């Protein structure tokens, strides 16, 4: 009994120190976690400030509202350009299966009639970007077959790189490449009749742009050819 009592007393005498050691370990772990959180906060703050700096804008201002004459000329040019492609499609599609009316020409009309001084709207970029994108889209579609989920992003992104390398960047060309790369079924001539349609449509709309834009009393088009 005496021995048992002494053992209990020894355990009681040691327990405070054990408890103290446990608290020290918990305290060290807590300090470690706090240190990790504290060290990560400046990094997160720097990332947030960097992101806010990039997204704040302020590098340019919105364009001014055009006058009534400019609005009329842009509307009239876009109307006549798309009207020409619609009329040619009514004639060429039944007889020769050459439709010229594609959605990407709507985007081209915005550039060549709405912001005619933009480099993206000049003949080199308009015709070159559209035709090059059509060729790249058809090549990707032909190479990948019916793997449309891959041919769509690959065709469009390669068309972008091709336009940038040839200095013919024309944003609607990305839409043209996308149309070609997901064509289902494949167009005649292994899909490349689409390229002929895009070429003819681009030249037709360019002709309207040259006439209509230069009829404006204060504007000139193009600002450069090549």
pTM: 0.77
Measure the CA dihedral 156/162/167/170, to 10°: -20
Which of the listed residues 25, 43, 61 is the one where a domain comes to its end?
61
Residues 95 and 24 in one domain: no
- Residues 188-222 pLDDT 10s: 777 889 999 999 999 999 999 999 999 988 889 99
| Same-domain pairing of 35 and 132 | no
Over residues 130-171, the pLDDT tens digits come to 999 999 999 999 999 889 999 999 999 999 999 999 999 999
Domain C-terminal end among 10, 41, 61:
61
Distance CA 172, CA 121 (A): 10
Closest among 81, 119, 115, 111 to 223, alpha carbons compared: 119
One domain for residues 55 and 24: yes
If asked whether residues 9 and 104 sit together in one domain, one would say no
Same domain, 42 and 72: no
Domain of residue 9: give its range. 1-61
Which domain-ending residue is among 37, 61, 85?
Answer: 61
| Number of independent structural domains in the chain | 2
In the three-class reduction of DSSP (H, G, I as helix; E, B as strand; rest coil), residue 165 is classed as helix
- For 190: left if phi > 0, alpha if psi spans -120 to 50, otherwise beta; the answer is left
Domain-embedded: residue 150: yes
Q: How far apart are CA 152 and CA 165, in angstroms?
A: 20
What token pair was written down for 76? 């009239």
Distance between CA atoms of 137 and 156, rounded to whole angstroms? 7
pLDDT in tens, 76-116: 999 999 999 999 999 999 988 889 999 999 999 999 999 99
């Amino acid at each position: 009994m005496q021995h048992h009592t002494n053992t209990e007393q020894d355990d009681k005498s040691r327990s405070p120190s054990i408890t103290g050691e446990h608290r020290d370990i918990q305290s060290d772990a807590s300090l470690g976690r706090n240190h990790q959180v504290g060290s990560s906060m400046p990094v997160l703050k720097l990332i947030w400030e960097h992101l806010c700096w990039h997204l704040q804008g302020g590098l340019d201002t919105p364009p001014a509202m055009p006058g009534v004459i400019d609005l009329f000329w842009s509307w009239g040019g876009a109307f006549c350009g798309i009207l020409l492609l619609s009329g040619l499609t009514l004639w060429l599609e039944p007889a020769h299966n050459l439709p010229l009316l594609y959605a990407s020409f709507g985007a081209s009309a915005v550039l060549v009639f709405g912001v005619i001084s933009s480099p993206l709207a000049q003949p080199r970029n308009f015709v070159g970007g559209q035709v090059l994108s059509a060729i790249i889209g058809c090549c990707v579609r032909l190479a990948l077959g019916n793997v449309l989920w891959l041919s769509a992003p690959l065709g469009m992104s390669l068309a972008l790189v091709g336009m940038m390398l040839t200095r013919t960047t024309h944003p609607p060309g990305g839409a043209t490449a996308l149309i070609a790369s997901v064509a289902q079924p494949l167009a005649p001539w292994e899909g490349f009749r689409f390229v002929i349609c895009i070429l003819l449509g681009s030249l037709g709309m360019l002709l309207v742009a040259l006439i209509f834009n230069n009829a404006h009393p204060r504007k000139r088009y193009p600002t450069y050819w090549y």
